[in-house]
Amino acid sequence: MSKKLLIGLLVLVWSLAVSFGAFAATTLTFQSYSNPTEQVAQFIQKVLIPELQKAHPDVEVNYVYIPFAEYMSTILQQAISNTLPDLVYLDNPWVPQLIEAGVFQKITDNVMQDLGEDFWMDFFPGHRLLTSKDNDIYALQVHTNNLAIFYRENLLKEAGIGEPPKTWAELQDACQKIKESLNLYGLMLYAGADEAGTWQFEPFLWSNGGSLMELDQPEAIEALGFVTGLVEKGYTPRDVIGLKDQGDVTIWFMNGQAAMMINGNWEFGWHLLPDVLEKLGDVKVTPFPVPEAGMKSAVLPFGGECVGITTSDSEKAKYAWELIRIWFGEKLDEYYEKWTGHIPTLASYAAKIANKRPEFEVFIKQAAYAVPRPPMGGMDKYPDVSNELALALQRSLTGAQTPEAAFKEAAQNIKSIFTPEEYEASKARAREILEEVLARAKGQ
């Protein structure tokens, strides 16, 4: 065989090898529960991934969607079977538990070298608390949110309601008027047997002085009794226990089946997009109602998602961090201004967005009275505590148990999750945080 022919054959073999993937690109899996059509998912797929690939054309990123209800159990199963993805986007209350489980890789050096200590300290304290342990950083919270009352202004006027409700009593009165005059539900909320169900109930619980660690106390039982009463009186449909996610609440609201709903600011980036708001024409937002007149704000949970690296492969971890760095280092302005219905987790960005997106005004003001959920319910054991509350909420709303019986059973179950010493320490910590925020909310 001639030398020339041999060279030609080698070139051909090399070309075929490339074509059939012998020289495979690095492939990352980015796992999320953000529906691929939702704006956050669109930002990841249309902005972040292409930006990474500009600098690293040989890196492929697969976006994998798993529904919220299946997400946490999926990650735990992946951890056991060593099939974790490379990056995860997930609800912030799960982060402490997954740090304890060894799911997240440390990113302290990456953050300090590429983004800096000033960047890290710009996060609101609660977000730093949740994403770090023992001075090491394991994830970054990309945005936050809280809950308020969305209302259809014209429907309230038709029912003879001049101002949106500010207190529980006013909320109940408004619901009664809406039912009697318009034959509509007054208020839609989410009460599924999951973290989102707990999350939507927590403002009622905490604003009334109730604690996740003391559900058998009068303040907690009274809060559950109030919400259960809305269902029993027909002001809120019993169907709320069977909804798939909080977006279903908005569908009822948009369809005119309910005059008000409890939901979060993310809806401005999901269902209540500008064209929808223009079509409806009368959607307004008012603060979450409080149990007693004169309170400055309800005490709310803060929500939002975090992103972290879960691969132990150093090569993949390098590119996974690069994608996170692009998000926080180059694309954060674009993300907050165009691609999300959430509010910033960094103080400097929150001030800028408040001026550019007035629909966030209520949520940004309420953020001063929003607390991280895990410290309110056992830190890394919060998901188990939350689950007990969500199940108790379902038992009460279906009429299977009275509010008192449901919460007393839940309280006993929660105690069994901890050792006596752990329980007392967690109870004291939750009470300390709650009393501090309640004092500010009441102007004390």
389: domain CATH number is: 3.40.190.10
Whether residues 248 and 100 share a domain: the answer is no
Of 226, 89, 101, 228, give the one whose Cα is nearest residue 165. 226
CA dihedral 50, 56, 59, 64 (to 10 degrees): -30
* E strand residue ranges, 205-319: 258-264, 283-286, 300-301, 305-309
CB 112 within 8 A of CB 120: yes
CB 170 within 8 A of CB 292: no
Q: What are the backbone angles phi and psi of residue 300, rounded to the nearest 5°? A: -120, 155
Residue 366 lies in a domain: no
Q: For the chain, how big is the Rg over CA atoms in Å?
A: 24
Q: Domain range for residue 251?
A: 147-299+375-441
By DSSP bridging, strand 87-91 and strand 136-137 are: unpaired
Residue 286 lies in a domain: yes
Domain limit, last residue, from 315, 341, 367: 341
Query: Does the global pTM surpass 0.75?
Result: yes
Whether residues 114 and 158 share a domain: the answer is no
Largest CA distance in the chain: 95
Residue 87 lies in a domain: yes
Whether residues 195 and 318 share a domain: the answer is no
Mind listing the pLDDT tens digit for each residue in 328-339?
999 999 999 889
Whether residues 168 and 311 share a domain: the answer is no
Of 95, 1, 43, 74, give the one whose Cα is nearest residue 269. 43
Residue 347 lies in a domain: no
Whether residues 315 and 268 share a domain: the answer is no
Whether residues 97 and 112 share a domain: the answer is yes
Of 129, 140, 146, give the one whose Cα is nearest residue 374. 129
Q: What are the backbone angles phi and psi of residue 12, rounded to the nearest 5°? A: -65, -45
Whether residues 119 and 248 share a domain: the answer is no
One-letter amino acid of 69 = A
By DSSP bridging, strand 87-91 and strand 185-188 are: unpaired
Whether residues 160 and 264 share a domain: the answer is yes
Residue 212 lies in a domain: yes
Q: What local confidence, expressed as pLDDT, does residue 351 receive?
A: 79
Residue 358 lies in a domain: no
Residue with tokens 């106390």: 217
* CA separation, residue 297 to residues 126, 148, 207, 208, 251 (Å): 18, 11, 8, 12, 27
The total number of structural domains that make up the chain = 2
Residue 181 lies in a domain: yes
CA distance 13 to 186: 70
Whether residues 294 and 332 share a domain: the answer is no
Residue 331 lies in a domain: yes
Tell me the β-bridge partners of 87. 30, 309
Q: Mean pLDDT of residues grouped by 10 in the chain (444 residues)?
A: 47 43 75 93 97 96 94 96 97 93 97 98 89 96 96 98 98 98 98 95 98 98 98 97 95 98 94 96 98 97 96 97 97 92 89 85 90 94 96 98 98 98 98 95 91
CA distance 32 to 68: 9
Whether residues 220 and 287 share a domain: the answer is yes
3-state secondary structure string across 43-98: HHHHHHHHHHHHHCCCEEEEEEECCHHHHHHHHHHHHHCCCCCCEEEEEHHHHHHH
Whether residues 116 and 155 share a domain: the answer is no
Of 322, 423, 374, 300, give the one whose Cα is nearest residue 98. 374
Whether residues 69 and 216 share a domain: the answer is no
Q: What local confidence, expressed as pLDDT, does residue 355 receive?
A: 83
Apex 78 CA angle, 77 and 81, nearest 5? 85
